[in-house]
A and B are shown apart, each in its own frame.
Chain A
Amino acid sequence: MKAGVRGKAGVRVVRLFGLPVLLVLGWWLVSGRSFYLPDPVRVARAFGQTWFSARVFDDVLPSIGRLLAGYALATVLGVGLGVPIGLSPRLRATLEPVLEFFRAIPPPVLVPLLMLLAGIDTPMKVLVIVSGCVWPILLNTVEGVRALDEVLADTCRMYGVHGATRLRRFVLRGASPQIMAGLRQALSIGIILMVISEMFASSSGLGFTIVLFQRQFQIAEMWSGILLLGLIGLTLSLLFRFVERRVLSWYYGAGAARA
């Protein structure tokens, strides 16, 4: 019995860490053949030296701050516009083709334009993030609100559930699975745009620093920056999953009950 439990835990550990360990070993084998491919130990050392320093405050935290600000703004905008559009068929008919067009524009090409309009500082970078994140949130919110259950809508009308309560207890909750799907897409887009917005005309931030290392041939440092971006992305996605599990517990529960 006890051996069995330990065996199971062992299997889980192998599942969780097996592939990462293999990947690092593979990296080790191919590294060193090229100047541009430093071995894991060098990158780890560079990681410590580069990022456990003032850079946390000068580059990392401002980058993450801009990401979160842009993401939050896009959420407010996307949900705020998506709800009325989803509720009104007329508004939807008018706006949807235009929205699809705007969504089709790749946000990085907006960087030169936004530089002209908003300068090269924080507002421009946040705007770039917003311009990319807002679309999946907006379109998913519209879809979620549009597909709200008619019987529940009738139930609200019959029992006098209207106004802010209706919005909060019915519309937003009912659309939350789709809204969360939009937020998930927007998060990965946001991380990409955070880096891209810092690669143009910038003097700080993660994207800027990685490009700087590359230009100065600090190859291990450059790799450590990429590693850090990966870790930030992973952390944010784990956080997201944690929040999603809580917000949508009813949704997963109902899904499991139907299956």
Chain B
Amino acid sequence: MLEIAELRKVYESPNRSVEAIRSLTFSVGAGELVCVVGPSGCGKTTLLRSIAGLLPVSGGQVRVAGVPVTGPPPRMAVVFQEYGRSLFPWMTVRQNVELPLKEKRVPRPRRLELVRESLESVGLTDAADAHPWQLSGGMQQRVAIARAVAYEPQVLLMDEPFAAVDAQTRADLEDLILALWRDLGVTILFVTHDIDEAVYLGQRVIVLSSSPTVIMEDLKIDLPAQRDQLTTRSLPRFGELRGHIYERIQRAREAR
């Protein structure tokens, strides 16, 4: 579904160039949930923006369902970290979710159905007519997730979506993502700096080095498919995987 081949990104400015990403090659199968972790400043956001077609790459290629990415692909949605800035404050929750569907020219009855279903799936049916700033941070991120879900994407990119919410909300939102992923069969690439989160959510975890970025490890997470905040996180295997990734990232930071 998602193929990244020898992706390279160099930020050029008149008097110096910074190599952010040296070379990344990996793929994400249809319906997979893959997490990307790495030390801070390792170019996670650069990678995600390149895949989303928001940033021109310096080399290599990104393909979505076989089609090379030159701009934002039509059936891709992104949930940004800055929920407070990714929702239109002058629109209600409903209008925020509906706007992309209007632009996609989804007929009105289907549009209303998608809006209703997606808000229901994130538990925000009652907040449909509120404005984003009237909601808590976690609820605002739910709106952004509902908007992505209603858009019916093949690929959903998430850029540290829960980095700015409190721990309890974060656990709830992680489970929400798992539930939506199972129900919708969407392909998800989830970028995070939180190793626990990556292991808990992912079927695979891709560990990045520090910048200029290469892949240190592409790790299969062999935990039971049915995840649960309490039992999954207390499995011995969970601790092993977390420890392993932690060690790799420590090494990546020392190598810098």
Contact = CB atoms under 8 A, between A and B. Distances in A.
A160 B103 contact: yes
Interface in A213-259: 250-251, 253-254, 257-258
A61 B142 CA distance: 53
A165 B131 contact: no
Interface stretch (B19-27, B69-77, B223-231, B238-246): B69-77
A254 B87 CA distance: 12
A152 B78 contact: no
A174 B74 CA distance: 24
A258 B54 CA distance: 29
Contact of B80 (A151, A165, A169, A250): A151
Q: How extensive is the interface on chain A, given as a class? A: 20 to 34
Contacts of B91: 169
A152 B85 contact: yes
Interface residues of B, number: 27
A152 B86 contact: yes
B82 interface: yes
A152 B88 contact: yes
B214 interface: no
A92 interface: no
A187 to B, nearest CB: 23
B100 A160 contact: yes
Nearest to A170: B88
Contacts of B77: 158-159
A149 interface: yes
Contacts of A169: 88, 91, 99
Interface string B64-107: 00000001101011101010011011110000000110111000
18 contacts: A155-B78, A155-B80, A155-B86, A158-B52, A158-B72, A158-B78, A159-B77, A159-B103, A160-B74, A160-B100, A165-B103, A169-B88, A250-B90, A251-B90, A253-B131, A254-B89, A254-B131, A258-B133
Given A154-B49, A161-B99, 10 more contacts: A149-B85, A152-B88, A157-B54, A157-B72, A158-B54, A158-B72, A165-B99, A165-B103, A169-B88, A250-B89
Interface of B: 49, 52, 54, 71-72, 74, 76-78, 80, 82, 85-86, 88-91, 99-100, 102-104, 131, 133-134, 147, 151
Minimum-distance CB pairs A-B, first 4: A159-B100, A151-B85, A254-B133, A250-B90
Interface of A: 149, 151-152, 154-155, 157-162, 165, 169-170, 173-174, 176, 250-251, 253-254, 257-258
